[in-house]
Structures are given as C-alpha cells and as structure tokens.
Amino acid sequence: MIKGNFAVLATMLLSLASIAAASAEDERYISIRNTDSVWVPGGICALQFRLDNGGGAQGFNKLAVTMRVKDKQGNILEEGVMDVEPFGDSDATRSQHAFLETSCNDEASSIEIVKATEETDGIEINLPLSTFDPQYYQPLAVSITK
C-alpha cells in the first residue's frame, strides 16, 4: 500500500513540475524590433535588431531565429537565420543586438519570424513563436538648425 501511495505521490509531483515548467516557458517573452539597416560592400545588407526580455526573468540561451524578408505584396524575397547571443538573465543583460545579413533589395518592406530555436545543453529546442512580441520602431527625424 505504501509503494502504491508513493507512486501516486511521485506522479502528482512530476505533473506539477511539468505544469510549473510550462508556465515558466509561457511567461518568457522577447520584444523584438528592427532598429537599423546597414549597407556593406558586396550588395549585402545587415538588418539590426534589438531583442529585450524585460530583465530580471529567466534569460535566453543562444538563439537561432529564422526570418523571411518580404515585399509589400507579401512575397518572400529571402530567408535567413539570425544568431543571437545569450541575454536577459538580469536587468543589466536584458537586451541584445543581433544582425540578419541579406541581399540589399529596395522591394523589402517587412520581416517575418518563421522559426526560433534555443540551444540548451547542446541541444536545439524549438521556441514557440508566441514568445516574440514584434515592435514597430520608427526613428526620430534628424535635422540641422539653420
């Protein structure tokens, strides 16, 4: 009887641990915004992104984010993978900058995240796309006093 009760108790504790882990995963988020585009020789454009998880939460290990560059009609112009170094395990490391290298294309009008993986103990684990909170960023205009 004691062995049976122990098995039931162990199963309940494992279930609760799984629920807690899933809940913690649901709370993780990444605010992402495209902050700049840099043209480099050879027809390559580096799209700069800022990723931020708000700090003080569970951080992110190394990420690989697959993104598509699209035109105004929604046609895919290019697909690439952006590597992101670990970040977000404290307020001091809450954000990280990363670059997606693409061909320069004047038709590009949007970016779509299609897949994301996080490296954990040498294994790539798929992140739910709902982890990402895309932000639209428009820089302030710069002028010169006349």
pLDDT, tens digit, 9 for 90 and up, residues 110-128: 999 999 999 999 999 999 9
Span 13-25, mean pLDDT?
43
pLDDT for 58 beyond 70: yes
pLDDT number for residue 12: 46
Higher pLDDT, 82 or 2: 82
Find the mean pLDDT for residues 17-37.
70
pLDDT of residue 22: 42
- Interior CA angle at 49 toward 129 and 115, to 5°? 25
Q: How far is CA 96 from the centre of its chain?
A: 10
> How far, rounded to the nearest angstrom, does the alpha carbon of residue 34 sit from its chain's CA centroid?
12
Which tokens in the block code for residue 20?
A: 């807690």
Nearest Cα neighbor of 118 from 57, 20, 30, 17 is: 30
Domains defined along the chain, listed by start: 29-134 (2.60.40)
- Global pTM exceeds 0.85: no
Over 80: is that where the pLDDT of 104 sits? yes
SS3 19: helix
Q: Is 16's pLDDT higher than 70?
A: no
Taking the C-alpha atoms of residue 138 and residue 35, their distance in angstroms, rounded to an integer, is 8
- Assess contact for 46 and 38: CB atoms under 8 A: yes
Q: Which of 26-30, 72-76, 110-114 has the lowest mean pLDDT?
A: 26-30
User: Cα–Cα distance between 133 and 5 in angstroms, integer?
Assistant: 44
Q: Which residues contact 85 (CB under 8 A, 6 or more apart)?
A: 62, 96, 98
**pLDDT level of residue 26 (50, 70, 90 thresholds):** low
